[in-house]
Structure 1
Amino acid sequence: MFLLQMGATAICIALLPLSYVWIKASDDKFRKLVWVTTFLTLDLIMFGGFTRLTDSGLGCPDWPGCYGTASPFLAHAQIAAAHAALPSGPVSMVKAWIEMIHRYFATAIGVLIIAQTASAWVARIKRKSLHVSPWWPTALLLLIVVQGAFGAWTVTLKLQPVIVTTHLLLGLTLLGSLAWFAARLTPLPAYEPEIARYRAAALAGLVLLAIQLALGGWVSTNYAVLACTDFPTCNGQWIPPMNFAQGFHLWRALGMTGNGEVITQDALVAIHWTHRTFAFVVIAYLAGLALKMRRYESLRRPATGVLIVLALQFATGLSNIVLQWPLPIAVAHNGGAAVLLLLVVMLNFRTASSRLGRAAVAPREAAPA
């Protein structure tokens, strides 16, 4: 019964953006729906970061409900008992609500992607052109099912770092895939075939960013942000003592080594130092690439966005260290990484489209935004 209640809650949430698309969109409701879903997925990733950073991931220690109910309201007695038994533990009414709101929101995104999939296949049956294969939203639906499974394992395996990091990376993969999908439905700027030569460089930038996102996720899920307490050195040294074998042993419990012992400070330093050092490689490469791409009209806006977000990411990353990891800045750093991914995906899409010598949607056939 509680699953039906949770499903009804998610549908009610999803009805808000669906109503917006139905009321506001002109002839191209499908494109609007994909863009709205992309924006809400970005919001979900940021709220997921907030959930993790507030230690709310186990606010409801079962899945998908909260102590077998659809709402923390209904689990008030169990939550109160768990909090009274361990006041400093992961369970409290506030944390339970944060965790459940995240789950409601994630399920609502699933409802929106189901709506995309159904619309695309109905259009195929009716022979109505959407300028994209219905297998695109179908693949996204499968991706969000896998993402949901990792969300469940995040709770049942007690925030095991490799599971939480994979959950984050799958969310970012969903965001990037939605952005690419939305771009395919949107008219491109003026055709500039010469930007096709940047295709390989843009792809390399995306790969470097993906590695950095994985390293950042590993820092966050291991709570290694404050392993280095100064900058540009780390604990007063350029190359501090580090234990890479412990730090990058993947299958282990949170705060523990692969042998079941408490993880050492040197292991946490290795995690932090690797992410910090590789950040300079990513910043240098993407900044240089964006400066070159700004010369082209069709790439100017996303390239400028990359430069701005890189600067903000450096500032928020440094502030996390200097200001001892304040929650708003930590959430902003997580969100900035997701926005940077969106921009780099846009650069890859536009260079790839120019190489193919076509627009995503013929401007004369596309509905106005």
Structure 2
Amino acid sequence: MTALVDLSPVLRLMLLGIVVALGPLAWLWLRSRKAAPARRLAMLTGLTLFLTFDLVLFGAFTRLTDSGLGCPDWPGCYASASPFGAVEQISAEQAQMPTGPVTHTKAWIEMIHRYLAMGVGVLILTLAAATWTLRRHHVLPVSPWWPTASLAWVCLVGAFGALTVTMKLFPAIVTLHLLGGLVLLALLCRQAVEYRHAQGASARVGLGAGLRALLLATFAAVWLQVALGGWVSTNYAVLACTDFPTCHGRWWPEMDFGQAFDIWRPLGVTSDGGNVSFAALTAKHYVHRLAAYVVLPLLFATAWQLRAALPRQARVLAALAAWQLLSGLSNVVLGWPLLGALAHTGGAAALVVVLTWALCESRVVRGGEPSVAGLRIAPGKELGT
């Protein structure tokens, strides 16, 4: 029987993570040899944000191809650093179940996901160490606590990745792993904007209290919708409704909300050991759909209201809202195609980034200040000073 946790290949895996990170770091060094240290760190932050977004997408690809248990132990594959060292074990499992959770293809998908995750971890570690070093020499006007928080958070996300394997795709853990990856995107986006402000490349925009509150409400609503979408996906409830706008030909289909939101239980069974009913799967799907009827108009309304103050963010926000509508519909009417599912996950991640970007590029004007949307505030300055 394979041990769920075997740390024997951990050193080799750490070296592989460093090798993965060396490629982006070498490219960055060649591109920024003559740049100031703060500029190099800003570029590293943007590159890490981009690669983390790719990692979130590849994590979705791993889940959607049922490769999450392609290597049923952690952190290696049958105690090896790669599927090359586990050919016999994987072949034996594949012979017993040719379409089961362990195949050569799925093992490689799972391990590539882990290699990419370790590479991103090394980049975030580099970012945190470099920020503290430059900060100590008083050459970086950016707080080192943001990259430090990102480093701590990526370790937590990695722990949830380990639990995803050892707890056999436990839906609550897989959903938290997805949400953790999106929080990491938000943290890195916050840092990227802070570097832009420090370099004078952009300035915060003053928003009226009502518009700022609308932006915050939309941000919170998107997080709730992402959590509901993750819950649908990790419970394989996407195809519980295959028609639109009705579900099973009814506007209010038969649903079991108690089972649907029984959070702490293994995949496919209830907390008391019974099988999850189809009515529970329908409830998961339909609640996510009903929430979309609120979140999508909210996104379009927010984009419209931001069009003068934050025109770039407003345009991208409206485009992403339309993207989510179309990709979500494609998952239902086309039977959950892989490309459509990836597009929907990518759109959700992009929404988190863009809304974080908009929040970090803006601030609410104080009482007595002119509440003119689009009024720019220099970094570190208040209006009227």
Q: Structures share a fold, TM > 0.5?
A: yes
Change (3 A) 1:162 1:194: closer
Task: State which of 172, 180, 203 in structure 1 corresponds to 2:190.
Answer: 180
| Amino-acid identity (%) | 48
Contact 2:73 2:79 in 1 (8 A): yes
Shift of the 360–267 alpha-carbon distance from structure 1 to 2, 3 Å rule, reads farther
Q: 1:207 aligns with which of 220, 225, 231?
A: 220
Q: Please report the TM-score for the alignment, with normalisation by the length of structure 1.
A: 0.94
1:331 equivalent in structure 2: 342
Structure 2 equivalent of residue 268 of structure 1: 281
- Provide the residue aligned with 1:366 in structure 2: none
Equivalence for 2:299: 286
Tell me the SS of whatever aligns to 1:74.
Answer: helix
Q: Residues 351 and 195 (structure 1 numbering): CA distance in 2 closer, same or farther, change over 3 Å?
A: farther
- Does residue 19 (structure 1) correspond to residue 26 (structure 2)? The answer is yes
Asked if 1:128 corresponds to 2:132, the answer is no
Matched to 2:298, the amino acid is: Y
2:307 equivalent to 1:300: no
- The residue type paired with residue 132 of structure 2 is W
Whether 1:9 and 2:19 are equivalent positions in the alignment is no
Secondary structure in 2 aligned to 1:73?
helix
The 1:63–1:354 alpha-carbon spacing in structure 2 relative to 1, beyond 3 Å, is farther
1:117 Cα deviation from its structure 2 partner = 0.9
| Offset at residue 193 of structure 1 (A) | 2.8
Report the residue type matching 1:137 in the other structure.
Answer: P
CA offset digits 1:144-192 (Å, max 9, x no partner): 1111110000000000000000000000000011101111111454664
Deviation at 1:125, TM superposition (A): 2.2
4+ runs of 1 displaced by more than 3 Å? 187-192, 194-197, 353-362
Query: Match for residue 373 of structure 2?
Result: none
Between 1:315-324 and 1:84-93, the stretch displaced more is 84-93
| 1:81 to 2:81 alignment | no
1:240 aligns with 2:247: no
8 Å CA contact 1:290–1:304 kept in 2: the answer is yes
C-alpha deviation, 1:132, in angstroms? 1.6
What amino acid is aligned across from residue 14 of structure 1 in structure 2?
A
In structure 2, stretches of 5+ residues that fail to align are 1-7, 370-375
C-alpha displacement of 1:194: 4.3
Instruction: Tell me the secondary structure at the aligned position of residue 193 of structure 1.
Output: strand
The AA in structure 2 aligned to 1:328 is L
The answer to whether the 8 Å contact 1:184/1:360 transfers is: no
* Paired amino acid for 1:274: V
Query: For residues 151 and 140 of structure 1, what CA distance do their matches in structure 2 show?
Result: 16
Change over 3 Å in CA distance of 1:303–1:89 after alignment to 2 = same
Q: TM-score w.r.t. structure 2 length?
A: 0.90
Distance in 1 (alpha carbons) for counterparts of 2:55 and 2:161: 13
Quick check: 2:303–2:315 contact (8 Å CA) kept in 1? yes
Count matched residues.
359
Aligned counterpart, 1:158: 168
> By how many angstroms is 1:127 displaced?
2.1
Give the 3 Å change call, closer, same or farther, for CA 82–203 of structure 1 in structure 2: same
Distance 1:40 1:288 in 2: 30
Name structure 1 gaps, 5 residues minimum.
363-369
2:4 alignment partner in structure 1? none
Cα drift, residue 198 of structure 1: 2.2
Structure with larger RCO (C-alpha < 8 A, sep 6+): 1
* 1:190-217 deviation digits (Å, cap 9, x = unpaired): 6643456522211111100000000000
Mapped partners of 1:176, 1:332: distance in 2: 19
Match of 1:149 among 143, 159, 163: 159
1:365 matched to which residue of 2?
none
1:99 equivalent in alignment to 2:132 = no
For residues 79-127 of structure 1, the C-alpha deviation after alignment (integer angstroms, 9 at most, x for no partner) is 0011112223100000000000000000111000100111011112222
Q: Paired residue for 1:224?
A: 237
- The answer to whether the aligner puts 1:50 opposite 2:70 as a matched pair is no
Q: 3-state DSSP class of the match of 1:256?
A: coil
The answer on whether the counterparts of 2:205 and 2:362 sit within 8 Å (CA) in structure 1 is no
Q: What letter matches 2:108 in structure 1?
A: W
Question: Hey, what does 1:367 align to over in structure 2?
Answer: none
Match of 1:311 in 2: 322
